[in-house]
Structure 1
Amino acid sequence: MLEKTIEKDFIDDGKIWDLLEDSKNPEPAEVKEIFAKSRAKARLEPEETAKLLQIEDPDLLEEMFALAREIKEDVYGNRIVFFAPLYIGNKCTNNCLYCGFRRDNRAIERKTLTMDELQEEVNVLVNKGHKRLILVYGEHPDYDADFIAETIRVVYDTKAGNGEIRRVNINAAPMDVEGFKKLHEVGIGTFQIFQETYHHETYAKLHPKGTLKSNYQWRLYALDRAMEAGIDDVGIGALFGLYDWKFEVMGLLYHTIHLENTFGGVGPHTISFPRLEPALNTPFIGKAKYRVSDDDFKKLVAIIRLSVPYTGMILTAREKPELRKEVIPLGVSQIDAGSRIGIGGYKKSEMDHIPEREQFQLGDVRSLDEVMREVCKLGCIPSFCTACYRAGRTGDHFMSFAKPGFVHNYCMPNAVLTFKEYLIDYASEETRMAGEKAIEEQLKVFEQQNPKKRQMVEDKLHLIEEGHRDVYV
């Protein structure tokens, strides 16, 4: 798979542990200097993030949490982008010890959606109000670039009433450059690959030899190949709970720095931080010794936000509603809602059936409408915006807006406009009332910023009320 063996990659396990050890008991003055750098929206260096990871002082932690929210709102505004995962197939050649989809798990029913079944799943999602999907595939030869490209075309071609999917992101096996080019040609959004764990020894233990996933470096450099192929929005992530959470945060930062150094300052469009969750017939999870507590989870979310101020941060429905409510304000910019992760799960959910034989257990199975209403009550604007992608604000163009914190000038108006579509076409009466109130509050903010800005947004809102759709800045 790899054309050549790389003697040393950009993750140095020993160096990471040395930095963490040397950073214990940081001085408050040092920490506050790091806070000041983050406030200026500068990406942190590993030595600085290591110090944040060692903060134990309650006052400094509270200051860090407040700063994480401030940075997120400075960069992206107070909007939360919504998406849904759609699992296409669960065939897998890998035998990852922690995964319910692993090859040797006989308790899982193997299935791949036909194109007609895929269209049915998309119809359910569109009729709920979704505009953004991430398609998820097992790592298997059947799910090659041609197959994935076909599924992307089907999703984009599926329309229902006023609804459609406007951005398709992908979570799939690493490919070669030619494979990634095929996906770029059909209009992929972000390609997302999680290293799972950045710790070399742990990676080797959890991913048995002879499988597609056993090659650490093939996976580590996969997004380099994606960007070489023209996919300039990529997402990284780690599965927290496989190894020490502080090490994994450092791994994500080093991956960010590698991408920036290799591709002219363009780092990850998103960073994800899912936690290990129970899965059917997967005994490893019950014995996992690196499970991340809720308190440490909150810390790592805030630290990632301070370390990479420009990146989108994804909080998944693995987490329970109560915790999601606490974590969203700590720097999160994207969440999923109304999610089902069984193959064909959305159609089944219409019959009030939530599949048990999934890759892992979800913590939040509430409807999209219910979660959006809660987000309004948190003082945020739900968003389905896809304007940056379709207006060409991707890659280095996106970074030129995101890094200095200007992208919110697009994010907030477009959040309001896409939310208005949802309120008219799909919302319950209760959510519509909460949503209209949230939009009115945001219009007041626009008025304070610039009366012309409010007028521009109101003019576009009137177009939506008249029946126009896909109106954006």
Structure 2
Amino acid sequence: MGKKSVFEYESNMEEIHSNVLQNVLAEVSSYQKQNYTQAEVLKALRSENLSIEGLKALLSPVASEFLEELAFKARMLTKRHFGNSITLFTPLYLSNYCESKCVYCGFQKGNAIARSKLSEIEIRAEMKAIADTGLQEVLLLTGEGREHASVEYIARACKIAKEYFKVVGVEVYVMNVDEYELLHKNGCEFVTIYQETYNANKYEKIHIFGEKRVFPYRFNGQERALKAGMRGVGFGALLGIDEFEKDALATALHAYFLQKAYPHTELSLSAPRLRPILGNRKISPKDVTEARFLQVLCAYRIFLPFANIVVSTRERAEFRDKIIDIVATKISAGVSVGIGEHSGEKKGDEQFEISDHRSVDEILTMLKSSNLQAVMSDSIYVG
């Protein structure tokens, strides 16, 4: 018996009626990136409101010749809508157990790493250590799998997090609406999901088994989170898995079409590049150079001027320092991607290698020297 199709739902997975996936895949399938001209790029740069066709032009290879112009317009829009503010947060890994096998991920089932899961006492210790740095926003993460990190476990972690932080988000396995409702009831406001790649054929090859293998269930995760009352959702593709221009286009359109259906949604776009993992140090982001990476981020900003753009510690410090003055509005600080490192010794291995190891104080110093304002929280909690 062969493997199930990546479009075949498991019995426990909730299906919702949505045309967003169809719309995104239709636009991506028609994208011929080599066909765009310099004139089309210049037209897109001069437009007041960037169309989907203009976005395609700005992501095309020929647009790389206009990186300075892209950066200039992106910076102008960033300053217009966000001023000099940069929001800071940090991820907290609750568990690195995983029931899925995804070839690019250090947490994948079967990979020989040290596995661990934080107890409630350890969660509190980690959160206190993070809160003591001054951060007021935390992103909770787990591996792909409910066996060691149930929905109830994650909900309890969210409730504890609200004791220490003003803003709580999650980046965990995708859930049904009622499960997201439980997280929201316990203090979670944001859900981030990486589709990894929007090429279903490539997706099938690199997601060998597990719940994450079901392509449309993952794709519709943000919409189910919004149906559950979440304030905002985040999107991202892991650039370098497939043709990055197409994955970047799909990421932006995924956010765009979903906001048209849910106009008050707060959007966040991330654009992580492949990084080496334990058990596979040869993983690299193919042809996603820093210049082309910046091109993607600038295209995101011009197409979705109000969206947060997040750049993680996967990128080197010098690069992050440069792009926060152009396009990024949210960055991580004081990051540990292992289990239990914030409050003591690491008890579980990391998901991937990071490049920027600076502490929160070091990030704050950098922002001050760049005349940028650190924002620890964008909300006031009224109990």
- TM-score > 0.5, shorter chain as reference: yes
CA distance in 2 between partners of 1:126 and 1:208 (Å): 38
- Residue in 2 that maps onto 1:187: 187
More helix by share: 1
The offset of 1:290, in angstroms, is 3.2
- Residue in 1 that maps onto 2:3: none
For residues 30-429 of structure 1, the aligned pairs below 5 Å read 30-37=40-47, 40=48, 42=49, 44-54=50-60, 56=62, 60-106=66-112, 108-141=113-146, 142-157=148-163, 164-209=164-209, 211-263=210-262, 265-267=263-265, 269-282=267-280, 286=282, 290-348=286-344, 357-387=349-379, 390=381
| Shift in CA distance, 58/257, structure 1 to aligned 2, threshold 3 Å | closer
- Residue in 2 that maps onto 1:443: none
| Shift in CA distance, 111/24, structure 1 to aligned 2, threshold 3 Å | same
* Stretches of structure 2 lacking an aligned partner (at least 5 in a row): 1-9
CA distance in 1 between partners of 2:378 and 2:311 (Å): 18
Q: For each residue in 1:388-442, what CA deviation from the matched residue of structure 2 results, as whole angstroms up to 9, or x when unmatched?
A: x6479xxxxxxxxxxxxxxxxxxxxxxxxxxxxxxxxxxxxxxxxxxxxxxxxxx
> Alignment partner of 2:130: what SS?
helix
> Alignment partner of 2:38: what SS?
coil
CA distance in 2 between partners of 1:330 and 1:65 (Å): 6
Residues 191 and 234, structure 1, Cα contact 8 Å, conserved in 2:
yes
Residues 235 and 270, structure 1, Cα contact 8 Å, conserved in 2:
yes
CA distance in 1 between partners of 2:301 and 2:186 (Å): 32
* Stretches of structure 1 lacking an aligned partner (at least 5 in a row): 158-163, 393-473
> Alignment partner of 2:240: what SS?
coil
- Residue identity in the other structure for 1:70: M
- Residue identity in the other structure for 1:382: A
TM-score norm. by structure 1 comes to 0.73
CA distance in 1 between partners of 2:63 and 2:192 (Å): 35
- Residue in 1 that maps onto 2:4: none
The offset of 1:288, in angstroms, is 5.3
Residues 10 and 255, structure 1, Cα contact 8 Å, conserved in 2:
no
More strand by share: 2
CA distance in 2 between partners of 1:68 and 1:289 (Å): 24
Larger Rg: 1
Residues 75 and 309, structure 1, Cα contact 8 Å, conserved in 2:
yes
Residues 90 and 137, structure 2, Cα contact 8 Å, conserved in 1:
yes
The offset of 1:48, in angstroms, is 1.0
- Residue identity in the other structure for 2:334: G
Residues 99 and 359, structure 1, Cα contact 8 Å, conserved in 2:
yes
CA distance in 2 between partners of 1:118 and 1:232 (Å): 24
- What is the percentage of aligned positions where both structures have the same residue? 26
Cα RMSD of the aligned pairs, angstroms, is 2.5
Q: For each residue in 1:113-147, what CA deviation from the matched residue of structure 2 results, as whole angstroms up to 9, or x when unmatched?
A: 00100111111111111111101111211323211
CA distance in 2 between partners of 1:272 and 1:356 (Å): 25
